[in-house]
Amino acid sequence: MRVKIKPLGILRDLAEGAILEVELKEGATVGDLIEELDRRYRGFKEAVMKPYVTIAVNGREIEFAKGFETELSDGSIVAFLPPYAGG
Amino acid sequence: MVYGYAGKILRVDLSSGKIRDEPLDMEWAKKLIGGAGYAAKILFEEVGPGVDPLSPENRLIFMTTPAIGSGFPCGNKMQVVSRSPLTGIWGDATFSPRFALELKKAGYDGIVVQGKSDKPVYLWISDGKAEIRDASKLWGKETFETVELIRKELGDENIRVAAIGPSGEMQLKLACIMSDDGRAAGRCGLGAVMGSKKLKAVAARGNGKIEVADPEKIRALSAEAIKISMEKTQGLRNFGTAAGVLTFEEMGNLPIRNFTRGRFPGAANISGQRMAETILIRREACFTCPIACGRYVEVKEGPYKMKGFGPEYETIGMLGSSCWIDNLEAIAKANDICNRYGMDTISVGGTIAFAMECYEKGLITKADTGGLELTWGNHEAMVKLVEQMCKKEGFGAVLCDGSRIAAQRIGKGAEKYAMQVKGLEIPAHNPYRFKTMGLNYATGNRGACHNRGSPAYPARGILSPEIGLGEKYDGLSPVGGGRITKIHQDACALVDSFGMCKFMQFFGGLNLSMMTELYNAITGSNATLQELMKAGERIWNLQRAFSVRMGLTKKDDRLPERFLKEPPPDGAIAGQVVELDQMLEEYYRERKLDANGRPSKEKLRELGLDFVIKALY
């Protein structure tokens, strides 16, 4: 299956703004995706595993789903969101 | 010695031309902190229900705050307060102009304006002296042009000014007050109140010093605040408030097509990141601010050629995504027109999104709009309409007083497409995504506002454990929303009246315990956070009591029916509705509001607001 990753925050710099698509095996979780991205982009895991980075699947924070065990499906959109404001 | 305050209020009666000084009431300054808190008592005592907002009897109050003049980073917010002509209830608007610092250094904590001048005037305040001056030559001029003319007339480039543009002169109910440095006291139509008094501008220059109780402590707290806030505010610094566009679109918080959708494919085109790559010339900072979220932009050529202050997140959300528009240059142009004419970009955007929905649904046609095709995404029509609204021309004359009045003018059931509460347009944070924001809009003292309470902050991980908001909660859940919203509204009443920017206070990591230390270091008090939160609650209830006197009841604490009954089809808010009644019930209990929406007698006594009881009961 393929999941899409929105180029926001740290990934915007690492992937130079492109929307990433990553091929994962069926049943892969958010945790698996982070491992995969860390293999591609050195320092990715360290950059996103911070309390103020929100990880969302289809706009929904994973902490209100199953955390890093949240399962992904074909076409899922995953975002690693920096602290966000907007006045 | 008075610490943290200038100690004086300037009283100006434009009918008689009389000016006098009045000592700041220190007992009430302590109880109500400053800003919109202190001004609430003046407004409550002097403006009764019979006073029309645009009549001479209404008061227009410019009030600074204790943080101003302390030098603390982002301690720069002041308020303008009046009975709002847009909503008919409590009206206030916060901004951070350098004018605030000059006013206080000139010796005044605030200005209370009453009456109405026969001819256009402006107010000039300089080191303890105030003067009403002729503004006949300024009448009709745009905001920034007015600033330049005043500086030229008085022969000082460093004079700081807050002025209205032609929209305020025409008393349009969406008119704002603009400062020379591009900050807007935007909401509630206070520019129209200024226009009704024929007051074109207030200008100040001061060389005095604001004494603080413990400068060493303030220096130490400042260093700490800068240290903790710099990383957290990096996005704001790099990309402005519009840094939030992409994230909020992803989360479902962005307003899209007048709050009917959850996804906007054009978000990247109107993001702060795109602005930085294209039209940004430089960043702008308010005084004492190390964050610098402001933008200065230039569109070099084409129909949207402009150079000036750049659009904020709110402006982009309302004039952009809520109108399905992804043309950043068009939004920058529309923003610039609003700044020059002096109109609130949030309400202007909300009203145009309303008109577009009416057009798409067939309630209005090209015959009504003078040929403008108000289809979703039509940026040419949007910019044209902004100009028409600012000038009260063409179809703009129907829309220039906001969506509630426009819906009455249009008829045909148009009111259900007006996304407003109590007359104030809903800003660019989506109640479908953060349910407590829906409750906050329904109960906010000035109508739908994202700043007089930001209960979504804890849901976004911006926590305040000292006041019982230490856990990140699920923004899609209404559970506990009444309690969270009540607490956050009180906290914001406190923070606003103290004068701290929320990008430092909450977002930047300055916590309320540090703010308490700062308050004490500035004023020489020995207050606890609990006492200051009580002051926040006192301010909220006094403002509420003012509106109750103006006729507000429980039935006004509502959201547009859309949010309760029409789930959006897509994005993170697909299938959601706002469980308002459930949250409202809890909120009323937490607030101790009675069945009519009045603060209960017990609550008013507890807060030391006994004088309010006589007026409400």
Tokens of B512: 């309320």
How does the average pLDDT of chain B come out, rounded?
97
Fold of B454-558+579-616: 1.10.599
B77 CA: distance to closest CA in chain A (Å): 14
Give the least confident one: A10-19, A68-77, B26-35, B420-429.
A10-19
A86 and B476: CB-CB below 8 Å? no
- Nearest Cα neighbor of B77 from B96, B93, B92, B62 is B96
Q: What's the pLDDT score for residue B205?
A: 98
A60 and B572: CB-CB below 8 Å? yes
pLDDT at B49 over 70: yes
Q: How many Cβ pairs within 8 Å bridge chains A and B?
A: 80
pLDDT at B199 over 70: yes
B-facing residues of A in 53-82 (CB < 8 A) are 54, 56, 58-61, 63-64, 77, 79, 81-82
Backbone angles phi, psi at B158, to 5 degrees: -95, 5
Write out pLDDT tens, residues B275-311: 999 999 999 999 999 999 999 999 999 999 999 999 9
* Separation between Cα atoms, residue B26 and residue B401, nearest integer Å: 38
Q: Which of A52, A54, A85 is the closest to B243 by Cβ? A: A85
Q: Exposed/middle/buried for B610, CB within 10 Å: 0-12, 13-18, 19+? A: exposed
Mutation for testing the B interface, residue in A48, A54, A61, A84 having most B CBs under 10 Å: A84
* Separation between Cα atoms, residue B70 and residue B3, nearest integer Å: 10
A87 and B503: CB-CB below 8 Å? yes
Tell me chain B's radius of gyration from C-alpha atoms.
Answer: 22
Q: Which residues of B touch A51 (CB under 8 A)?
A: 461
Give the least confident one: A41-55, B133-147, B576-590.
A41-55
| Residue of higher predicted confidence among B144 and A37 | B144
Q: Exposed/middle/buried for B230, CB within 10 Å: 0-12, 13-18, 19+? A: middle
**Architecture of the CATH domain B216-425:** Orthogonal Bundle (1.10)
Q: Which of B461, B503, B573 is the closest to A54 by Cβ? A: B461
Q: What's the pLDDT score for residue A81?
A: 86
Q: Look up tokens 């899922």; give the residue.
A: A76
Contacts of B260 (CB under 8 A, 6+ apart): B357, B562, B566, B568
Tokens of B308: 């000036």
pLDDT at A17 over 60: no
Domain ranges in chain B are 8-205, 216-425, 454-558+579-616
- Tell me the CB-side half-sphere exposure of residue B513, using CA atoms within 13 A: 7
3 state SS for B357-382: HHHHCCCCCHHHHCCCCCCCCCHHHH
Q: What's the pLDDT score for residue A82?
A: 79
Q: What's the pLDDT score for residue B306?
A: 98
**Architecture of the CATH domain B8-205:** 4-Layer Sandwich (3.60)
| Secondary structure element (H or E) that encloses residue A2, with its range | strand A2-6
Q: What's the pLDDT score for residue A15?
A: 62
For a pLDDT cut of 70, what percent of chain B falls above it? 100
For strands A20-23 and A2-6, give the pairing: antiparallel
Residue B163, classed as helix, strand or coil, is strand
Q: B310: left (phi > 0), else alpha (psi -120 to 50), else beta?
A: beta
Q: Are B261 and B206 in contact (CB under 8 A)?
A: no
A59 and B251: CB-CB below 8 Å? yes
Q: Are B84 and B90 in contact (CB under 8 A)?
A: yes
B247 and A64: CB-CB below 8 Å? no
Q: What's the pLDDT score for residue B358?
A: 98
pLDDT at A83 over 90: no
Q: What's the pLDDT score for residue B570?
A: 97
A87 and B248: CB-CB below 8 Å? no
- The mean pLDDT of B465-481, rounded to a whole number, is 97
Find the chain B residues whose C-beta atoms sit closer than 8 A to any C-beta of A: 232-233, 235-236, 241-248, 250-252, 262, 273, 293, 312-314, 317, 428-429, 451, 460-462, 472, 474, 476, 502-503, 507, 571-573
* Separation between Cα atoms, residue B159 and residue B124, nearest integer Å: 9
Residue B307, classed as helix, strand or coil, is strand
- The mean pLDDT of B566-570, rounded to a whole number, is 98
Q: Are B266 and B246 in contact (CB under 8 A)?
A: no
- The mean pLDDT of B559-566, rounded to a whole number, is 98
* Separation between Cα atoms, residue B280 and residue B162, nearest integer Å: 25
* Separation between Cα atoms, residue B507 and residue B245, nearest integer Å: 16
Q: What's the pLDDT score for residue A86?
A: 64
A82 and B252: CB-CB below 8 Å? no
Query: Could you give the C-alpha distances from A50 to A10, A80, B302, B366, B461, in angstroms and in order?
Result: 12, 11, 44, 53, 12
Contacts of B426 (CB under 8 A, 6+ apart): B255, B259, B350, B419, B420, B441, B448, B560
Cα maximum dimension of chain B: 67
Contacts 24+ apart (CB under 8 A), B218-223: B218/B70, B218/B71, B218/B72, B218/B518, B218/B521, B218/B522, B221/B72, B221/B514, B221/B517, B221/B518, B221/B521, B222/B71, B222/B72, B222/B73
- Nearest Cα neighbor of B183 from B210, B199, B160, B206 is B160
Q: Are B336 and B308 in contact (CB under 8 A)?
A: yes
Write out pLDDT tens, residues B227-269: 999 988 988 999 999 999 999 999 999 999 999 999 999 999 9
What DSSP assignment string belongs to B164-211? --HHHHTT-TTB-EEETTS-EE-GGGHHHHHHHTTEEEEEEE------
Tokens of B281: 């010339």
Residue of B nearest to A79 (CA): B250
Write out pLDDT tens, residues B392-405: 999 999 999 999 99
Q: What's the pLDDT score for residue B48?
A: 97
Write out pLDDT tens, residues A30-70: 999 999 999 988 888 888 888 778 899 999 999 999 999 99
Q: Which of A9, A51, A58 is the closest to B572 by Cβ? A: A58
pLDDT at B483 over 80: yes
Write out pLDDT tens, residues B62-85: 999 999 999 999 999 999 999 999
Q: Which residues of A touch B230 (CB under 8 A)?
A: none
Give the least confident one: A10-19, A45-54, B455-464.
A10-19
- Tell me the CB-side half-sphere exposure of residue B278, using CA atoms within 13 A: 16
pLDDT at B406 over 90: yes
Q: What's the pLDDT score for residue A6?
A: 82
ipTM of this predicted structure: 0.89
- The mean pLDDT of B338-365, rounded to a whole number, is 98
* Separation between Cα atoms, residue B287 and residue B105, nearest integer Å: 14
A86 and B245: CB-CB below 8 Å? yes
The sign of the torsion formed by the CA atoms of B231, B319, B424, B336 equals: positive
Q: Are B599 and B592 in contact (CB under 8 A)?
A: yes
Q: What's the pLDDT score for residue A13?
A: 65
Write out pLDDT tens, residues B8-32: 999 999 999 999 999 999 999 999 9
Four-way CATH pick for A2-81: 3.30.1220.10, 3.40.50.300, 1.10.357.20, 3.10.20.30: 3.10.20.30
Q: Which residues of B touch A62 (CB under 8 A)?
A: none
A79 CA: distance to closest CA in chain B (Å): 8
Q: What's the pLDDT score for residue A20?
A: 83
pLDDT at B178 over 90: yes
Residue of B nearest to A59 (CA): B251
Tokens of B45: 């005592």
Q: B1: pLDDT confidence band, cut at 50, 70 and 90?
A: confident
* Separation between Cα atoms, residue B514 and residue B509, nearest integer Å: 10
Q: Which of A52, A56, A79 is the closest to B461 by Cβ? A: A52
- Tell me the CB-side half-sphere exposure of residue B284, using CA atoms within 13 A: 20
Mutation for testing the A interface, residue in B77, B232, B246 having most A CBs under 10 Å: B246
A86 CA: distance to closest CA in chain B (Å): 4
Domain ranges in chain A are 2-81
Q: Which residues of B touch A81 (CB under 8 A)?
A: 247, 250-251
